[in-house]
Amino acid sequence: MFLLSRGIVEGVYLPKGYMSIKPFDPECFVSGSYTFRLGAIATEAGPAKITDSVELKPGARVSVWSLEVFDMRGRTQGILGNTTQLIRLGGELVHSVCIDPHFQGCLELIIANNSVETIVLAPGAPIGKVSLYDVSESFGQDDLKQDELPESYRQRNAAAQQLLKQYETSPEYNMRRTEAQD
């Protein structure tokens, strides 16, 4: 499992169809995570697209959906988190821990107002972030070729492989392996 950078997502995963985020906004991909936005709110008739600002009174909770539609396919998973913007307002995103492989759809979440002030959220406001990971066990051995990856990743991967080989040939590794077999 490894964290997907913006370069790998934009250069390989989206074009090859290993995952999709629609609508995808490159400006939402910052520091290893994609910021997803407010898209719909729960009504008695079901989810309704947000066209006006949403007000949350102190202590209120509301079910919402992300603006983005995620299609994680089999090799990708997302780990969810709050945004600093929402926390500064006194809000909290209540969510499951991750977006599982093969998930398709908008994210269904809850926003809670933990402050003593009313929170106002505009349509498309940033409400959470997702760090994306490749969770396939066959990275580099199937249709995702090493030469399609950014040079910086290939260099880090080569250095990690070299360190692993050095460790596997070390006396300490062999001693631990012998102890484990006994």
Instruction: Give 111 or 97, the one with higher predicted confidence.
Output: 111
- What is the distance between the alpha carbons of residues 34 and 29, in angstroms, rounded to a whole number? 4
- What is the distance between the alpha carbons of residues 118 and 127, in angstroms, rounded to a whole number? 16
Q: Residue 96 — very low, low, confident or very high, per pLDDT cuts 50/70/90?
A: confident
State residue 130's pLDDT score: 97
What's the per-residue H, E or C state across 59-123?
CCEEEEEEEEEEECCCCEEEEEEECHHHHHHCEEEECCCEECCCCEEEEEEEEEECCCCCEEECC
| Helix, strand and coil in the chain, % to nearest 5 | 30, 40, 30
State residue 140's pLDDT score: 46
State residue 37's pLDDT score: 96
State residue 56's pLDDT score: 95
Average pLDDT, the chain: 84
- What is the distance between the alpha carbons of residues 139 and 161, in angstroms, rounded to a whole number? 13
- Contact status, residue 63 vs residue 94, Cβ threshold 8 Å: no
Q: pLDDT tens for residues 145-179?
A: 556 666 665 665 565 566 556 656 767 656 555 66
Rounded mean pLDDT of 53-80? 94
Query: 45 to each of 63, 94, 125, how far by Cα in Å?
Result: 13, 22, 23
